[in-house]
Amino acid sequence: MKAINFFTMLGMVLLSCTAMAQTKSIDVMETVKVNREVSTHFVTGDPIKYVDISMNEVAGDLPLKNILRIKPVEEKIKVKNNRGGWGEEDRTFIDGQSMGIVTIVTERSVSQYQLVYTEIPQDACSQYVIPLSEKNSYLNPEVSMSETEMVKFCWTVWNSKANYHDVRTKKDKMIFKLNNIYTIDDYFFIDIELVNQTKIKYDIDQVRFKIEDKKQNKRTTTQTVEIEPVMSLFDIKEFKKNYRNIYVFKKFSFSDEKVFTVELAEQQYSGRTILLSIDYEDILNADTFNKKSY
């Protein structure tokens, strides 16, 4: 068996997918035809975590994180001649020949297709593009939104006018502010912006998100919980005048005694650090989209 192991987290992915369903039997599996002259592309809505191709006669790679490209392998094979020795000849494929099964694993689904060889004219087409269909996939109910959908909604938030005007912090000639909070399905989309009013470029060291006590007393133990975003719209490392980003989080909640803070810290010696505090009341005022309309 030949596997394309592009990710070290295979074990975690397969464990999460095992709970979804068992492998489909071949008689109900969708068939995809392949040809040695044509690359076949599978397009997914999520980044591909793992791929397995069950036969050596088909090779594949990931040109992009959500595209699998496969093609029958054109290579010579060893054959025994009539004198008892060994020689080489071109590998041949027969129309209708089984080429095995391809398994594609993303965060949300496991999809399987039966591959069959077909003879087509060389100039008939340059490639097939096959979007993964839900009917041929096992969906993970724990993941309700693909990364592609998240990016789409991030841009919708980006193009929305600011609904929050009083949630902001001023420090060192910088203004750190909250523009919007939207909730869609099981996720929060938080739009934050930093305006740098100095002439000094800001090199980002890290952006951290925490839930911590509003009032911190030195005599008592304070509790801080760090929250990791699912994704962000941009991966920005530096800026001169303006930094804006949309961060996506799994839905969370906290009490009135606590606050959600965003900490933006700078690299190098100046170490300009600024905090933005968001009360739970602001979280509760999150707006929403009608998902079906987008």
- Contact between 201 and 240 under an 8 Å Cβ cutoff? The reply is yes
Whole-number Å distance between alpha carbons of 75 and 163:
61
- Supply 214's token pair: 């509003």
Per-residue pLDDT band for 5 (boundaries 50, 70, 90) equals: very low
> What confidence category does residue 211 fall into, taking pLDDT thresholds of 50, 70 and 90?
very high
Using DSSP bridges, classify how beta strands 31-34 and 67-72 pair: parallel, antiparallel or unpaired: unpaired
Q: Which of 71-75, 163-167, 238-242 has the lowest mean pLDDT?
A: 71-75
Banded model confidence at residue 292, pLDDT cuts 50, 70, 90? low
With CA atoms as reference, report the closest residue to 248 among 142, 144, 147.
147
Among 54-68, 165-179, 217-231, whose mean pLDDT is lowest? 217-231
Q: How many of the other CB atoms lie within 10 Å of CB of 282?
A: 17
Q: Which of 112, 113, 110 is nearest to 141 (CA)?
A: 110
Q: What is the DSSP string of 77-95?
A: EEEE-TTS-EEEEE----T
Give the per-residue pLDDT at 119.
84
| pLDDT for the residue 81 | 67
Neighbour tally for 287: CB within 10 Å: 13
Per-residue pLDDT, 250 = 92
Q: For residues 41 and 220, what is the distance between their CA atoms, to the nearest angstrom?
A: 59
The amino acid at 146: S
Cα–Cα distance for residue pair 218/177, rounded to 1 Å: 28
**DSSP bridge partners of 109:** 139
Question: What structural domains and CATH numbers belong to the chain?
Answer: 2-141 (no CATH), 149-293 (2.60.40)
Q: Which residues have CB under 8 Å from 80's CB, separation 6+?
A: 86, 87
d(CA 35, CA 253): 53
List, for residues 237-271, the tens digit of each pLDDT value. Answer: 999 999 999 999 999 988 888 999 999 999 876 67
Q: Tell me the C-alpha distance between 232 and 154, whole Å.
A: 8
pLDDT over 50 at 281, yes or no: yes
List, for residues 82-131, the tens digit of each pLDDT value: 666 676 666 788 889 999 999 998 877 888 899 999 887 544 444 555 55
